[in-house]
Structure 1
Amino acid sequence: MKNIAPVKTTSWKELNNHFQEIKHVHLIDLFNKDKDRFKKFSFTFQNKLLLDISKNRITHTTVQLLLNLANEMNLSTAIQAMFSGSNINFTEKRPVLHTALRNKSNNQIILNGFDIMPEIKFVLDKIQSFSEQVISGKWKGYSGKKITTVVNVGIGGSDLGPKMVTDALKPYKNHLNMYFISNIDSTELFQLFKIINFETTIFLISSKTFTTQETMINAKTIKRYFLKKVGNIEYMDQHFFAVTMAFRKAENFGILKSNVFRLWDWVGGRYSIWSAMGLSIALSIGFKNFSQLLSGAYDMDVHFQQTNFGSNMPVLLALIGIWYNNFFNTETEAILPYDQYLHRLPEYIQQSNMESNGKNIDRNGNQVSWQTGPIIWGTVGTNGQHSFYQLMHQGTKLIPCDFIAPIVSQNPIYNHHEILLSNFFAQTHALAFGNFFYKQDNIISSKYNMKNQYIEKFKFFEGNRPSNTLLFHKIDPYSLGLLIALYEHKIFTQGVIFNIFSFDQWGVELGKQISQSIYSDLSNKNSILNYDDSTLGLINYYNKSTLC
């Protein structure tokens, strides 16, 4: 990977000059100048996905300069390095090979002199065998009853991904009840214990290192409750499973070796749904559908590797994001899915993007002088229209948006989906063009004695607010795999061009370390505290309150 500051490239300087020429150009003018703009700035993928980038403040010159930037930063070499297993996670001295988990080709993937594909296939076969046993009722609990409930215990990538996917694919869900426990707040477990029956419940303890504080504390509490209820530690063998790379730690916890599903250190948590971390997904929708999820992601991998950058969906989305974040100084991006099943997608993309590219040190160890990862946020469907769209249309912030919707609803009732999509299309149109296509209403307010001209100022929409549109035929396992991999590769592309390391996350460690120190002080009221005045005051206030 090329370790140079993007701002020092020729392309960046040319983009800066180009921005001065285009920054006040309106989308209305861009569309008026080119009647085929949609055709030139939209792309399809196997009749499964349409990507429209025409409602962006870009010209062909913009795109070409952005493509020059990608080439100048050696994006092609970086892509090859990731897929070939080079140690691109430099600070942790690891390769990044989540793409190998969905590799559907017959090609070997060599790591440290060995083909890792047989090992991956072995774990996939184990997932298939176990999920089919549970779903069919062959796997039974300690009392001989069939399993009806699955509880996944994890946090971060061990929770957000599986939870998002199982929600997104509820139309493909079987009879098993799925629960996800992540928060260290005991309320989640308190509510869970009121619902589940230990006789018919299995627990998936999902932690790459089997040391994650929240996960292990929750797992230990579940184990205590389980043993208190059943009274026999041997019954754990039918109910407790681990998804981890730390086999010995899982066994020390009391989990049977054959009940451990393997992870590898070259899979980051936020990229792990394709691995055994997707066990809860396979249990929820069946292995056949899980395999389709992998197939969709694999096909996007092939597209990312083989398609010219000028038609490459992840690359184009990444470059457009850099354009807004670094030249228009937008700082945020909104993810707006118009499908209730995708209600967790913004949160999932938020973690994937902000944990990957929320860095201020470049690959040379220097402080960056450019914007890296944006703030990601959003919500589902027309809910947002009655919440934050006011700011998007008339506020002082420019907010690039990704609008995502299926053409076909999984649950057609009367004309609901047509109305939903009419809102979907209307919002991208209104953001881009404002009042341009419509005459102002003649409004007279006798109550306030306001003149028409004054009222019309408040009803004015300037438009020129950009968006991407992703239109799927239907949200099914294959399409969801496409979508997730699309965003993964967008994030990777941006990390390459930002000249940062996208696959570590040291920023989450400091707070964890300090919390362990504070926990001992909260437990030991007589300890000598050594913190800043504010933190010291808060801890002392807490300690005094608990003594009352």
Structure 2
Amino acid sequence: MAQASYRDALGAHARRLTGSSIQALNCLEAGRAQQLALRVGPLYANFARQSYDQAALSALLAYGHSLGLPLAFRQLFDGDKVNQTEARPALHTALRCDLGQGEVAASARAQVLAAEQQLAAIVAELEASSVTDVVSIGIGGSDLGPRLVCDALRPLQGARFRVHFVSNIDGMAIERVLAGLDPARTAGILISKSFSTQETLFNGAILQRWLGEGARLYAVSADVQRPQQQFGIAPERVLPMWDWVGGRYSLWSAVGLPIALALGMEAWQQLHDGAALMDAHVLQAPLEHNLPMLHGLTEIWNRNACGHASHAVMCYDARLALLPAYLQQLVMESLGKQVGVDGQPVWGDTVPVWWGGAGTDVQHSFFQALHQGTQVICGEFIGCIAGDDPHTASHQALLANLLAQTESLSNGRPSDDLPRNYPGGRPTTTVLLDALTPQALGALIAFYEHSVYVQSLAWGINAFDQFGVELGKQVASALLPAVRDPAVVVEDPVTRELLAQLHR
């Protein structure tokens, strides 16, 4: 059967289920709550509050089989050129496991292990110094992943280094970070794959001037010469990254140096171990019991069969507050494409808008729209079974809110008083970590990476390029002279008017 026929079947099931309540599905299908749940190590996910019944799920799994997912993941791990537009592999899995087969994967793994030794030496060097603070400068994938992990796992006491992050080119961002720091006790890390990123170069220059003579600077780049050429950073203080690792998949590489400094090498290794656990699962588990594959296919069901264009991520643990922003880049930069790998328009709508927030705060913000808005918004609820704070009653209340919201969004509460009518039928997935440990967080992030790859295969797009981010940066570089000098003339009439306001 052609894949288009499988997609047509999904649409037919979605139309058949129109008007069916998720609550009714969970009542009619015995054992559904257990059957639609999967566990991988410290991570558990439950899909019972999705809007498919068993027949629709069977059609969805048949579609997954038609995509050849096991072979596609084997090709990913082995270093095939899955990044077709740039004709190179996407070997982020080699950063944390040795499950790839063949020379390409083995070579990548050897490079990774050598870089890890250099990273450990830098950590030891800084631990033996008088440095207390580290400023990490990067943007996008060179910032979001390390920032998320450091914030989520930061110990309340006993951290060897205070790690601060600067990404925005806005000068006030770096001023706020540097305020109160001592240049004599501060080191800097400049992270940029190309080492030509405007934000990183501007902020790096500011940091270097602030640190003064003998600035303790380190760098991470795919071009190991540029940090020395542009900032005078000694080669032994430059860690490599590679063109076969996309920025948003790079926290496992030397880009994660801030993680190793903030949390220590043991936690760094445990983070990688958690991701490797998910790597082994996605390679070995059959599709029907494969957590990332089921998640990715569920996203296809919601986006294409059901037409839902928005996906909210709610983290019921304050330490995961940055996860929605991290997932925005991972998912939307990977899947925000309209042209397939065959050069033709994609067959259907691709990525929905991913957004979200943390804890019960968001219940008092945008949950009104989730419960009673005219648009159905899919939800991802993430929580931790065990809390690490001494306030047991607070953690219990937090989890009660998580459970209550998923139940309420699914089941609703009919009322003749229309302002108080809750229609329900809002699909959600619940993800629970046993506790927020480095291993659990590593598994969680790898889980989402693999789900993204599943979705890219379904849409026939390349998850590993990001040409859409380039145009605005190119235009900004061209307009910078006009911002600096009012005598410079630009063609666009609206930009001319806006520049006139800037130069008043």
Cα gap change, 1:167/1:109 in structure 2, threshold over 3 Å: closer, same or farther?
farther
Q: Which has the higher Rg, Structure 1 or Structure 2?
A: 1
Cα gap change, 1:108/1:119 in structure 2, threshold over 3 Å: closer, same or farther?
farther
- Tell me by how many angstroms 1:226 deviates: 2.4
Is the CA contact 1:176–1:284 (under 8 Å) kept in the aligned structure 2?
yes
Q: 2 CA distance for matches of 1:50 and 1:116? A: 31
Alignment of 1:108-507 (within 5 A): 110-111=103-104, 115-135=107-127, 138=128, 140=129, 146-171=130-155, 174-227=159-212, 232=213, 235-236=214-215, 239-252=216-229, 253-435=231-413, 456-507=417-468
Identify the residue that residue 45 of structure 1 maps to in structure 2: 40
Identify the residue that residue 79 of structure 1 maps to in structure 2: 73
Letter in 2 for 1:376: W
Is the CA contact 1:353–1:373 (under 8 Å) kept in the aligned structure 2?
yes
Is the CA contact 2:221–2:240 (under 8 Å) kept in the aligned structure 1?
yes
Q: 1 CA distance for matches of 2:401 and 2:61? A: 33
Is the CA contact 2:85–2:341 (under 8 Å) kept in the aligned structure 1?
no
- 1:528 aligned to 2:489? yes
Q: 2 CA distance for matches of 1:109 and 1:276? A: 23
Letter in 1 for 2:299: G
Q: 1 CA distance for matches of 2:152 and 2:4? A: 41
Q: 2 CA distance for matches of 1:44 and 1:249? A: 45
3-state DSSP of counterpart to 1:204 = strand
Is the CA contact 2:9–2:59 (under 8 Å) kept in the aligned structure 1?
yes
Identify the residue that residue 36 of structure 1 maps to in structure 2: 31
- 1:94 aligned to 2:55? no
Name whichever of 253-262 and 410-419 sits farther off: 410-419
Q: 2 CA distance for matches of 1:312 and 1:330? A: 23
Q: 1 CA distance for matches of 2:398 and 2:102? A: 44
Letter in 1 for 2:328: Q
- Tell me by how many angstroms 1:104 deviates: 5.1
3-state DSSP of counterpart to 2:39 = strand
Query: What's the CA shift string for 1:53-91, capped at 9, x where partnerless?
Result: 001111121111111212222222221111110111111
3-state DSSP of counterpart to 2:190 = strand
Q: 1 CA distance for matches of 2:155 and 2:358? A: 18
- TM normalised by structure 2 equals 0.96
Q: 2 CA distance for matches of 1:74 and 1:104? A: 22
Letter in 1 for 2:494: S
3-state DSSP of counterpart to 2:26 = helix
Cα gap change, 1:419/1:7 in structure 2, threshold over 3 Å: closer, same or farther?
farther
Match for residue 57 of structure 2 among 54, 63, 66: 63
Identify the residue that residue 537 of structure 1 maps to in structure 2: 497
Letter in 2 for 1:121: L
Name whichever of 175-184 and 190-199 sits farther off: 190-199
Is the CA contact 1:208–1:263 (under 8 Å) kept in the aligned structure 2?
yes
Q: 1 CA distance for matches of 2:103 and 2:189? A: 30
3-state DSSP of counterpart to 2:189 = strand
Letter in 2 for 1:468: T
Q: 2 CA distance for matches of 1:468 and 1:194? A: 42
- Tell me by how many angstroms 1:269 deviates: 0.4
Identify the residue that residue 27 of structure 1 maps to in structure 2: 22
Q: 2 CA distance for matches of 1:153 and 1:199? A: 18
Query: What's the CA shift string for 1:403-438, capped at 9, x where partnerless?
Result: 1111111113141000111101111111111126xx
Q: 2 CA distance for matches of 1:395 and 1:522? A: 42
Q: 2 CA distance for matches of 1:300 and 1:242? A: 29
Query: What's the CA shift string for 1:382-410, capped at 9, x where partnerless?
Result: 01110111110111111111111111111
3-state DSSP of counterpart to 1:526 = coil
Letter in 1 for 2:306: F
Q: 2 CA distance for matches of 1:401 and 1:411? A: 26
Give ranges in structure 1 of 5+ residues lacking alignment.
1-5, 141-145, 441-452
- Tell me by how many angstroms 1:130 deviates: 2.0
Is the CA contact 2:303–2:309 (under 8 Å) kept in the aligned structure 1?
yes
Q: 1 CA distance for matches of 2:19 and 2:122? A: 59
3-state DSSP of counterpart to 1:195 = coil
Q: 1 CA distance for matches of 2:354 and 2:160? A: 34
Cα gap change, 1:116/1:495 in structure 2, threshold over 3 Å: closer, same or farther?
same
Q: How many residues align?
A: 502
Pairwise CA RMSD: 1.7
Q: 2 CA distance for matches of 1:434 and 1:169? A: 35
Q: 1 CA distance for matches of 2:293 and 2:108? A: 28
Is the CA contact 1:87–1:96 (under 8 Å) kept in the aligned structure 2?
yes
- Tell me by how many angstroms 1:133 deviates: 3.5
Identify the residue that residue 445 of structure 1 maps to in structure 2: none
- 1:10 aligned to 2:5? yes
Is the CA contact 1:9–1:69 (under 8 Å) kept in the aligned structure 2?
no
Q: 1 CA distance for matches of 2:392 and 2:145? A: 32
Q: 2 CA distance for matches of 1:302 and 1:258? A: 34
Q: 2 CA distance for matches of 1:428 and 1:28? A: 11
Identify the residue that residue 449 of structure 1 maps to in structure 2: none
Q: 2 CA distance for matches of 1:193 and 1:338? A: 31
Q: 1 CA distance for matches of 2:490 and 2:495? A: 10
Letter in 2 for 1:199: A
Query: What's the CA shift string for 1:437-473, capped at 9, x where partnerless?
Result: xxx6xxxxxxxxxxxx5xx221111211111111111
- Tell me by how many angstroms 1:209 deviates: 0.9
Is the CA contact 1:52–1:470 (under 8 Å) kept in the aligned structure 2?
yes
Letter in 2 for 1:181: V
Query: What's the CA shift string for 1:204-254, capped at 9, x where partnerless?
Result: 000011100100111012112223xxxx3xx13xx1000111111111121
3-state DSSP of counterpart to 1:402 = strand
Is the CA contact 1:404–1:471 (under 8 Å) kept in the aligned structure 2?
yes
3-state DSSP of counterpart to 1:150 = strand
- Tell me by how many angstroms 1:266 deviates: 0.4
3-state DSSP of counterpart to 1:56 = coil
- Tell me by how many angstroms 1:368 deviates: 2.2
Identity %, equivalent residues:
33
